[in-house]
Amino acid sequence: MTYDVIVIGVGGMGSAAAYHLAARGQRVLGLEKFTPAHDRGSSHGGSRIIRQSYFEDPAYVPLLLRAYELWDKLAADSGREVYRITGGLFIGPPDCLTVSGSIRASRQWDLPHDVLDAREIRSRFPNFAPAADDVALYEAKAGFARPELTVQAHIDLAEQAGATLRFGEEVLDWSETAGGVTVRTAQNTYTAGQLVICPGAWAPQLLAEFGIPITIERQVLYWLDPVGGTAPFVDHPIFIEENPDGMQIYGFPAIDGARGGVKVAFFRKGVECTPDTIDRTVHEHEVAEMRARAAELLPALDGPCLHSATCMYSNTPDQHFVIARHPDSANVTVACGFSGHGFKFVPVVGEILADLATTGETTHPIALFDPKRLVSV
């Protein structure tokens, strides 16, 4: 059978793309190497931060405003709690990127926010022990998304809209044809008019001919058991904190019950790897380092590590995304380089990819994500 669009990779971005395409009446085939909502790539770990006061670049904010609308729609259409608003604290020295960038984005886009000094942080959020000269931006609309539920919701809705999704079917290669594209797997060969590639950590292999520099890094997630129990962390904001050395950590409320702990992690403190060479073992010295760093900010987190997990970031050199039509082909659209801050955009990226695959353009502002910025001439 010939399809209108084949989507390679049915993780966060690919499942959203498959849904948006199928909802527009496209005949969609999704191909995924692993099982639905798997834990081998980047879209797992129980929670991902969502926020609008975007310190990375204010240019992301219009996409976030649309993403929040689509999070609402996904929750309603799927009947799942795919996200939750908890409020968010972005803490550090006044001139650090986490604070100054969040303030800049909030002011540029007139986003509601509060700026708190250390005394106000401690008063409003007594779990925190900021440094004397720390400040924070508080965003009431921040919260977290649940990646596995989100991927499964998009998968279910895509199939309800008529998409064919094949799991456990690894893509071996793809090529252009006179009328579109051909995709070959170990089981079959498929043809379509359009191809959307959402490769995640497999970008270096699947997109080698694009020349887009993508680095894969191993990251570690930790669930710490707070001293005194999880109760004070249930009604609690998500947070990102940056110390004077520029090292960021982030964390969540206690969302998994009394024995679920509090999830924390370093932000962009990874070791380069590949999907085949990643070390899935979390070592004692890593746990000790995370506990010590987390306890500096939240003293109650100096408790044992209940469990841990690894995931992979796929990063471009400037840490911005790649979302674009193939520069030499009107039949191929690519989305990659999202890791570290991409999951909150999943619903709107799905919409963008559906736009590009069906019309060749989108009204969303994606100039920042043009791969030409990364490819040497």
The overall pTM is greater than 0.75: yes
Structural domain span for residue 113: 88-140+215-314
Determine the Cα–Cα distance for residues 144 and 49; give it in Å rounded to an integer.
Answer: 4
Average pLDDT over residues 319-343: 89
Structure tokens at 335: 């989305």
Same domain (yes/no): 159, 286: no
Give the rounded percent of residues in the chain with a pLDDT score beyond 70: 99
Query: Which of residues 292, 314, 336 is at a domain's end?
Result: 314
Same domain (yes/no): 160, 193: yes
pLDDT of 168 reads: 95
Same domain (yes/no): 221, 210: no
Q: What is the pLDDT of residues 120-160, one digit of tens each?
A: 999 999 999 999 999 999 999 999 999 999 999 999 999 99
pLDDT of 330 reads: 84
Residues 6+ apart with CB under 8 A from 107: none
Give the domain CATH number at 40: 3.50.50.60
In which residue are the tokens 């990659």 written? 336
pLDDT of 207 reads: 80
Determine the Cα–Cα distance for residues 263 and 283; give it in Å rounded to an integer.
Answer: 17
- Using 50, 70 and 90 to split pLDDT, how confident is the model at 377? very low
Q: Are 297 and 283 in contact (CB under 8 A)?
A: no
Same domain (yes/no): 306, 370: no
Same domain (yes/no): 170, 135: no
Same domain (yes/no): 239, 301: yes
Q: How many domains does the chain have?
A: 2
Same domain (yes/no): 331, 345: yes
The chain-wide mean pLDDT, for the chain, equals 94
Q: What is the pLDDT of residues 266-288, one digit of tens each?
A: 998 888 998 899 999 999 999 99
DSSP annotation string for 360-371: S--SS--GGG-G
Q: What is the pLDDT of residues 53-100, one digit of tens each?
A: 999 999 999 999 999 999 999 999 999 999 999 999 999 999 999 999
Whether 56 maps to a domain, the answer reads no
